[in-house]
Structures are given as C-alpha cells and as structure tokens.
Chain A
Amino acid sequence: MKITVHYTINSKACDLEVDAGETLLEALRNRLKLTSVHRSCEEGECGACTVLLNGEPVNSCLMLAAAADGADILTTEGLMRGDQRHPIMDAFVDLHGMQCGFCTPGLLMTGYSLVRKANGGDLDEATIRQSIEGNLCRCTGYMNIVKAIQEAKRRKDAGDWW
C-alpha cells in the first residue's frame, strides 16, 4: 500500500509517497537521501537514527513513515546554516566529541534538543548523561561528548546562533 505523507523536513515542506510498511528511517535515507540519519540496530537500542520529531528526539527506525504524517522533522542536515556548521557541531569538533563518527548525528540531535530546551546555567553531567541514555557510542567513553554538549550550552548562552 502506498501512502502520500506530508512532512516539514529541515524547515522545508515536502510531499512524499511512501510504502505503508516503510519506516521513517527508510524514507529519510532512501527517498530523501538524508544520510546523516544512520541505520544501525533498527530496534531502538542505539540511537544512531535519532531525529527530532516536532522538536523531540525519537528513533526513526521505530516509527512508520506513514505515522509521521504531518510532522516537523529535523535531521543533522537541518542544523547547518548553508556551509556553516552549527555551534553544537563546532563544540563536538573542538572537544573531540567523536571518534569514528557513526553515533555522532544521533548524539548531535539529542544534544541539540537538550541544549535548546535548557535554561539557566551550565548543564550538569548527570542531566546530560541521562538525556543521552538512548545514544550508544562505542568509541569515546562519552567523556568528550558530555563536555561538548556542556560547551554547546555555554556557546548558546554566550549568544552564538542557535
């Protein structure tokens, strides 16, 4: 069964014909070529396929493309401003918040969502670690990822674009 869905993807409206048995991950990667959305475990354990759905992180591998009809979807591509990296990406680069990079897009989306919603002073380590519980990284041991997200919050507070 084919279904036509309407998404707002990275601030652009988009009509798309999908199979009913197709996941959002498959639609984003295969049809829209948004290859920052990584396919890994396909059972919601690893978080590599995390995208923001109406501003909240979800596993795109666990959602039918049809069920996301009408949603506002943000992927890592949508964080870029032209060729310019988003400040959270710069923070990950500057603080070595990645090694192989496979988990990075998912962590960027989860981290971005956390920092965007956070008010007040620095994010503490426990808060960050709790919010990235659903993102597995097998390289870094998370230390620099946590520091990068903390740094991203400082840059946001210092007035860097967000």
Chain B
Amino acid sequence: MNQFIGSRALPDLVYHRPGTMDDLLGLVKGIEGEYRVVAGCTDFIPAIRGGKWRFADGINVVDIRGVKALSGIREEKGEIVMGAATRLSDILVSPVIREKAPVLADAVSQMASPQVRNTATVGGNLCMASPAADTAPPLLVLDAKVAWRTADGEETTPLNKFFLGPGATVLPPRSVLTEIRFPAPGPDEAARRTRMGQRTAFVCSIISVAVWLRGGPEKIEAARIAMGAVAPTPILITAAESVLIGKKPNEATLAEAAKTAASNIAPIDDLRATADYRKSLAETLTRRLLAACVGDLA
C-alpha cells in the first residue's frame, strides 16, 4: 500500500472484531503477543502517527465496537449505565443523559469536533487517562463507578480510584472496560461544569472543573468538586467538601470552598498555561459553578 508523503505509516495490524462479549473476553484472554483494545481509534491512530506509541508489525488490535452490549445508555435501579463503547455523540442526544445528567452532555458538547464525537467513545476517553480527559470531572462529581471484565469475572471501582497517572489506569491486563455507571441525580441535587481552552472547539483543556451539590438554599448536605488538567490525573478534591457540608451556601462559604479547592491542586506550567494561571482559574471557576448550583437548588 503506498503511503502518503510525510505520513508515518501504521504498522501492519492483526485486526480482530469479535461480535459477542464471550468471544471478546475469550480472545483477549488467549491472545499472544502485544495487543491493544480499541474502540473509536480517534486517539489510537494519532498516537501512532505522532510517534507517541510505537508498535512492531503484527500487533493485535481488538476492536470492541462489534459487541453491541458495550454500547448504549440505560437507566437501571436508580442508576444511569453507559456502555464503555458508547459514542460521545450518543451521549449528547441521549434523553436519559439530557434529563438526568445534563452536566455530562454539557461537557461532551465541547469535546473535540462533531466528526470525532461521532466515532470516539466515553470508555476510550477514560482509558486514555489524559489528565485533561473532559468526561472525567463531571463523572467524578456524579460519583461514577467503572466496571471491567476479564474471562474470569467482573470488577467495579470508583472512577476516583481508576486513574494512576497520565495514560495509566488500574485496568488489569487482559481486561476490557465494560460500563460506566452513576446514581441518577435526584431533585435536590445540582451539577455544573465548565472549562477553559484557547477556543471552544477542539482544544485540550487548560483546566476543567465540575461541581455537584446536594441540599437546599438553607443547607448544603453533600458536595463534590473535581478538576481536570491540574494534576497527573483528573481528580476529586475532597478537601473542599468539609468547608461546604452542613453550611448555608452564602457567598463567603462558597468563596472559602473555592479557595480551599484551588489550594489543593498541583498544576504545572506547560505550553497551554502557567500553574499560577490554572490556580487562579480553579478558584474563580469553582466559585462561579458553586453559585450556579446553589441557584439551581433554590
């Protein structure tokens, strides 16, 4: 096959597309040599072309998109369950997400481009474990859990414990991420998110922030704050929760919580922004989001 001029060729792949979960798990269990589990491939292909990943010819690529059970969004026993291979564009138009977790749809609407969202998956976004993964902060504040399967069984872990570092997760070898689930938020809960980037479309976030509150205008009963691109992984910032819980959500409380959150992150200077700028944004954006959530609860 003639390559385009200046293009880094993909290696010769051994492509697998199992059609059922059992076939998928059996394949991954028995596969010999190097392999990668893929779905949309919107990170996989640029990672090879850009030289971030190098594979020898003959690497096995296991495409999970043939397994129907891994796609789709449903509500089940008070939980919202998303298949790992659910496309970002399916999240955007899902009536369940739009009604129960608009905070997630809001985050997805600013990810990449419409073309990429028509291919990229939520599980892929989490498994790539970018510190700036844009689905992570809203899912963290929604108290999401992720489930994976091997040929021998299933395991579930809170998303908060899933990321280990840039590009690294707790997913064991020969496992496949299957589901992301979170409790369907009730009427006394509110969640908001925002992010800062060089422009709206198709940029890596300078910072992304999500907050979640439960309670009413007189008292906050529970709170969660999560951020992306301020640490080696997307993080839940628990230090600020105690500032909020049990308090009346007035301006001073929200400001103190935002300040606490911003002092518990460790951003870096990089080509997108300085650490100082990120800290400043973290405080301001958190304060605004908290105020917006309090407005939603009123």
Contact = CB atoms under 8 A, between A and B. Distances in A.
Contacts of B2: 30
Contact of B45 (A3, A19, A62): A62
B246 interface: no
Interface stretch (B5-13, B235-243, B254-262, B278-286): B5-13
A1 B12 contact: yes
Interface stretch (B110-118, B175-183, B186-194): B110-118
A10 interface: no
Interface stretch (A50-58, A88-96, A137-145): A50-58
Contact of B13 (A21, A42, A44, A57): A21
Contacts of A21: 9-13
A20 B42 contact: no
Contact of A67 (B12, B14, B17, B49): B17
Given A58-B119, A133-B202, A134-B116, A44 B42 contact: yes
Given A64-B15, A66-B17, A26 B4 contact: yes
A57 B49 contact: no
Main secondary structure on A side of the interface with B: mixed
Interface centre among A53, A56, A62 (most CB of B within 10 A): A62
A76 interface: no
Contacts of A30: 1-2
Contact of A20 (B7, B15, B200): B15
A43 interface: yes
Interface string B25-54: 000000000000000111001100110000
A57 B17 contact: no
Contacts of A39: 4, 7
B115 A59 contact: yes
B118 A53 contact: yes
B115 A134 contact: yes
Contacts, number: 104
| Size range of the chain B interface in the assembly | 20 to 34
B195 interface: no
Given A1-B15, A43-B45, 19 more contacts: A1-B12, A19-B12, A20-B15, A23-B10, A39-B4, A43-B46, A43-B49, A47-B115, A57-B115, A59-B119, A64-B13, A64-B45, A64-B63, A66-B17, A67-B17, A110-B115, A133-B200, A134-B201, A135-B113
29 contacts: A1-B14, A3-B15, A19-B1, A20-B61, A21-B13, A22-B1, A22-B10, A30-B1, A42-B4, A43-B45, A43-B46, A50-B115, A58-B118, A59-B42, A59-B115, A59-B116, A62-B40, A62-B41, A62-B46, A62-B116, A64-B15, A64-B45, A67-B17, A67-B63, A110-B114, A110-B115, A133-B201, A134-B114, A134-B116
Interface of A: 1, 3, 19-23, 26, 30, 39, 42-45, 47, 50, 53, 56-59, 61-64, 66-67, 69, 110, 130-131, 133-135
Interface of B: 1-4, 7, 9-15, 17, 40-42, 45-46, 49-50, 61, 63, 65, 89, 112-116, 118-119, 200-202
